[in-house]
Amino acid sequence: MAEAVALANAAAQAAKDTVSSAMALSEIKSMQTKVEREYLQEHGFGSTEKAKEEEDERRTKGRSDEKEGCIGLLQGAQRFDAKRGNKLSTYVYWWIKQAIIRAIAKKSRLVRLPGSMCAVARKVADATSLLQRQLGRWPTYHEIADYTDLSASSVKIVTARSRHPISMNRPVKNKEITLEDVIPGPDETRPEFIVAKQLMLQDMEKLLKTLNSREEYIIRMHYGLTGERVHSCDEIGRLLNLSRERIRQIHHSALTRLREERDLIESLRQNLT
């Protein structure tokens, strides 16, 4: 067994070296471009092509196109553990993606604005700039509201949400530390947690595919895995035209199968490593 573990570790190290040398910078750059575009769309940037180009230019100024992806690649390769049963390429991919996203977030707005509010925010900003030139002073909320046909309360909310956030790298007064050093962050923001969560979700999807379509549907609906709220057995029964007891039986049977499948996979992994 010790020899098998040593061989597995040696193979993993060889795989790391292969990935580090074989993955071209152009591939990392291509992945970075894709992730950045997805990030911009999700966070309300780029409602117009011009806005997208402006945001890209602002964020990428003074930054190497490949740096973040390379850092993620190296971190993923160093932390890869073949005994966990994950593919090296899949594991490293999530590290690269998270490194890119974290780099983008540091250089862009961290407070998310919905797409609809982005359009209103731009309208308010344009009106504010125009009125400021006309009046020779900063306009009031009511003046902006009259010009944009919005309520004063809406203008106030949009203006507050649109303000540039305070940098987490801003030094604390009379201290050699930054806000990032003193404000605790949840474990969910750590790359290790994010990568582990993504791999767990992938494993869960694979397990669900071992069920038949009805069992999979019931499990997804009961635990809210469809992106919706959690549904009771009564609610699922009405959707499928089945009794509450029948739904409970199918649910119990499906969970039993999932546990058996999971235990079998873990047993195979341990024997192979």
DSSP-based three-state secondary structure for 62: coil
Note whether 89 and 138 are same-domain residues: no
C-alpha 256/C-alpha 267 separation (Å) is 17
- The residue that leads in pLDDT, 227 or 241, is 241
Number of structural domains found in the chain: 3
Note whether 76 and 92 are same-domain residues: yes
Does 196 reside within a domain?
no
Write out pLDDT tens, residues 30-47. 655 665 565 555 544 443
Note whether 12 and 108 are same-domain residues: yes
Backbone dihedral angles phi then psi of residue 47, each to the nearest 5 degrees: -65, -20
Q: What's the confidence (pLDDT) of residue 203?
A: 76
Note whether 104 and 139 are same-domain residues: no
Does 201 reside within a domain?
no
Note whether 83 and 6 are same-domain residues: yes
H helix runs in the chain, sequence order: 2-22, 25-42, 49-60, 67-79, 88-107, 115-135, 141-148, 152-162, 179-182, 191-208, 213-223, 233-240, 244-272
Domain that holds residue 167: 115-182
Q: pTM of the predicted model, to two decimals? A: 0.36
Does 197 reside within a domain?
no
Note whether 16 and 82 are same-domain residues: yes
Does 189 reside within a domain?
no
Q: Exposed/middle/buried for 208, CB within 10 Å: 0-12, 13-18, 19+?
A: middle
Torsion of CA 146, 150, 152, 158, to 10 degrees: -130
Mean pLDDT (the chain) is 67
Structure tokens at 17: 């070296």
Note whether 109 and 20 are same-domain residues: yes
The predicted model gives 171-177 an average pLDDT of 52
Note whether 68 and 169 are same-domain residues: no
C-alpha 198/C-alpha 269 separation (Å) is 19
Does 195 reside within a domain?
no
Write out pLDDT tens, residues 184-202. 455 545 555 666 666 777 7
Write out pLDDT tens, residues 54-98. 445 545 444 444 566 676 777 777 776 666 666 667 777 777 777
Handedness of CA 32, 37, 39, 45 (dihedral sign): positive
Q: How confident is the model at residue 261 (pLDDT cuts 50, 70, 90)?
A: confident
